[in-house]
């Protein structure tokens, strides 16, 4: 891999992951288009076999390993979705996978990881703790370490999502996506800006623990406390030794927003009521940002990345309560 990723790397990733990750639908949301007087589209990466976009980067990273690395196996740290993607692809490719997670990962994601066939190690109270354990296991067992975002093959894999959006709807002029470690925004930004430099890329994080946004404001990677959120997939740090996603997010993201838990909850409920999509909080932050920050989308062609659907009914019931809505059975 060259020192700088290019659109070619994303095209190569698409060829590589075909058969493991899906080309997901891009569908028009009539409800959001009416509400915001725009042309709103939903990129349904919640329909990936593992329920989240992370499968794209995980599959591409595994397929980039040499034979000796494949035989020894890999280790990662995850908030759930990357680990699940890695486990799914690893099972298909016969590569052993170990996933280190913190105690903040919801029970439904822990259960899904274990069901996927991965070895699951729960360690510490935040993603940084889990990362330390993953690196220790790398050294102890001779495993290949694959980070969930700060890796060129992971970024290129996530970029295939942006490539698909613009192939389906070339007139899209704004893309919203969740912002955590920056792998998705970096990949989508590279794809989108390479095709249309005028296109706006918008990243959205939760209010508390927005590590990338805090780091961008400081001008260098920061360690930020991780807290519980409906958007649990966006939790965790970006790594003080970040080599890829910090610089790429600086380069390709036009604007970043934070959203509070109530707005995330309202967006989750709205997506179920109007678009019949039951999704996790991280998948709804783009809609939450439009509402909370009163963004004017009039006349725009906008895509929202619906990044995942791996949530429990208990979490969705909590979202309903926060949003002041009736039980989800009435929606």
The residues annotated as belonging to the active site are 54, 307
162 near 189, Cβ under 8 Å? yes
Candidates 258, 209, 175; CA nearest to 79 is 209
User: What are the backbone dihedrals phi and psi of residue 205, each rounded to the nearest 5 degrees, phi first?
Assistant: -125, 165
Residue 40 DSSP SS3: strand
Q: Which residues pair with 99 in a beta bridge?
A: 76, 120
Task: Report how far residue 267's alpha carbon sits from residue 130's, in angstroms, rounded to the nearest whole number.
Answer: 30
What sign for the dihedral angle of Cα 150, 161, 306, 198?
positive
If you search the block for the tokens 């309560």, which residue do you land on? 321
Task: Report how far residue 256's alpha carbon sits from residue 64's, in angstroms, rounded to the nearest whole number.
Answer: 31
Q: What is the DSSP string of 173-217?
A: -EEEEE-SSSHHHHHHHHHHHHH-TT-EEEEEEESS--HHHHHHH
- Please return the burial class of 4, using the count of CB atoms within 10 Å of its CB with bins 0-12, 13-18 and 19+: exposed
Contacts of 217 (CB under 8 A, 6+ apart): none
Task: Report how far residue 178's alpha carbon sits from residue 183's, in angstroms, rounded to the nearest whole number.
Answer: 10
Task: Report how far residue 158's alpha carbon sits from residue 28's, in angstroms, rounded to the nearest whole number.
Answer: 22
CA dihedral 70, 75, 81, 87 (to 10 degrees): 40
Contacts of 230 (CB under 8 A, 6+ apart): 206, 261, 264, 265, 268, 280, 281, 315, 318, 319, 322
């Amino acid at each position: 891999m060259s020192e700088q990723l290019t659109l070619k790397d994303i095209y190569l990733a698409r060829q590589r992951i075909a058969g493991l990750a899906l080309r997901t639908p891009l569908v028009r949301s009539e409800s959001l288009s009416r509400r915001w007087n725009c042309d709103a589209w939903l990129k349904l990466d919640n329909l990936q076999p593992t329920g989240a976009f992370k499968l794209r980067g995980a599959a591409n990273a595994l397929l980039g390993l040499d034979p000796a690395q494949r035989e020894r196996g890999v280790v990662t740290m995850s908030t759930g979705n990357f680990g699940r993607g890695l486990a799914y692809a690893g099972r298909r490719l016969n590569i052993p996978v170990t996933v280190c997670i913190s105690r903040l990962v919801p029970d439904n994601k822990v259960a899904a990881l274990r069901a996927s066939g991965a070895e699951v190690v729960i360690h510490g109270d935040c993603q940084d703790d889990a990362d330390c354990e993953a690196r220790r296991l790398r050294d102890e067992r001779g495993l290949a370490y694959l980070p969930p975002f700060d890796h060129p093959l992971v970024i290129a894999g996530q970029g295939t999502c942006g490539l698909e959006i613009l192939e389906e709807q070339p007139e899209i002029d704004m893309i919203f996506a969740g912002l955590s470690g920056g792998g998705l925004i970096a990949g989508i930004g590279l794809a989108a800006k390479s095709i249309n430099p005028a296109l706006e890329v918008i990243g959205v994080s939760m209010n508390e623990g927005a590590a990338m946004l805090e780091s961008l404001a400081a001008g260098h990677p920061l360690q930020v406390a991780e807290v519980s959120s409906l958007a649990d997939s966006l939790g965790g740090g970006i790594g003080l030794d970040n080599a890829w996603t910090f610089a790429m997010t600086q380069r390709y993201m036009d604007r970043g927003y934070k959203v509070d838990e109530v707005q995330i909850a309202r967006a989750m409920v709205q997506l179920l009521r109007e678009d019949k999509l039951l999704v996790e909080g991280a998948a709804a932050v783009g809609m939450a940002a439009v509402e909370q920050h009163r963004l004017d989308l009039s006349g725009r062609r906008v895509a929202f990345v619906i990044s995942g659907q791996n949530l429990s009914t208990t979490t969705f019931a909590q979202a309903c309560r926060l949003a002041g809505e009736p039980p989800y059975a009435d929606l």
